[in-house]
Amino acid sequence: MSELAKRVITAVVLLLLVYGWYVQLSSPWFERGLALLGLVASCELVLLIKLRQPVLYMLTALAVWVAFTLWPGIDLFLLCAFVWFALFVVDARTKTAAFGDFFAVIWLLGWVFAFALAIAQTHGSSAGQGLIIGACLAVWVSDSAAYFVGRAIGKHKLCPAISPGKSVQGAIGGLLFGVPVAVVCWVYWDVLPLFAAIMLAIVTVIAGMLGDLSESAVKRMVGAKDSGRWLPGHGGILDRIDAIIMAVPVAWLLWAMQ
């Protein structure tokens, strides 16, 4: 089976699973599914930087994400980061420690928690669900548009030190195609008025691009191509949600401020 066929099949299966989880499941199974996603992403981060005694880090993540199903809050991220750093410091006593790599992973872990919190806090209302769906669709359309526009006319590198394949022209194309998707969704579902929807959509799509670059930067630091091998043709869970783990929390926070 070709790599393209694997990617297409995996993408279809993922879409069906996400639809069933987000639209069909209610509490407490919805929160449990969200916690499972967070746990898998956390385990990928542990394996990504090749921490010694990874089981201890994963058990900490398991306990924290179980707690998240009962009391979702960003304070659980602080607890997880505290325990992980304590384990890292103990391990650093006996070997050379790559502190930069570790703190880069904590950066991503924070966005994973913020993403999960945004999903948990908005799921109970139709406007909240519309906000999340619109943000995700805009980021995914933007990512695809940036790829194709970049391949067609991309000449100037966007950030070659992090992701040599991305271009300025691709980023502009991503904005032009992604922003209208969010605007249409948010106006149609009465999430935001038109002008506010346009402004938030621009920020959300840019946040998605920065989220993608964030994960690429961490992978480049540790010399990894993918965050994992869970998904045939796609890499790991983080490789699939890298853009929305930053875009969704940013959209949620700004929306909540209105």
Q: What is the DSSP string of 201-251?
A: HHHHHHHHHHHHHHHHHHHHHHT-S-S-SSBTTTB-HHHHHTTHHHHHHHH
* pLDDT of the residue at 49: 82
Q: Is the pLDDT of residue 257 over 80?
A: yes
Residue 109's domain spans which residues?
A: 3-256
Q: How many CA atoms lie within 13 A of 231 on its CB side?
A: 24
Rounded CA-CA distance 34/20 in Å is 12
Count of other CB atoms within 10 angstroms of residue 52: 13
Is residue 3 scored above 70 in pLDDT?
no
pLDDT exceeds 70 at position 96: no
Q: Which of 131-135, 222-226, 249-253 has the lowest mean pLDDT?
A: 222-226
Number of domains the chain contains: 1
**87: CB partners within 8 A, 6+ apart:** 51, 53, 56, 57, 60
Task: Give the whole-angstrom CA distance, residue 45 versus residue 38.
Answer: 11
Rounded percentage of the chain residues whose pLDDT exceeds 70 = 92
Question: Which of 210, 255, 249 is closest to 115 using CA atoms?
Answer: 249
Rg of the chain over Cα atoms, rounded to whole angstroms, equals 18
What does the alpha-carbon distance between residue 116 and residue 28 come to, in Å, rounded to a whole number?
14
Tokens of 203: 């920020």
Q: Tell me the pLDDT of the chain averaged across its residues.
A: 89
Task: Say yes or no to pLDDT of 2 above 80.
Answer: no
Extended strands (E) in the chain: 157-159, 163-167
- pLDDT over 80 (residue 232): no
Task: Give which of 120, 116, 254 is closest to 197, Cα–Cα.
Answer: 254
Q: How confident is the model at residue 4 (pLDDT cuts 50, 70, 90)?
A: low
Least-confidence region, from 45-54, 134-143, 207-216: 45-54
Q: What is the pLDDT of residues 6-50, one digit of tens each?
A: 667 777 888 888 888 888 888 889 999 999 999 999 999 998 888
pLDDT tens string 140-153 = 999 989 989 998 89
pLDDT value of position 125: 93
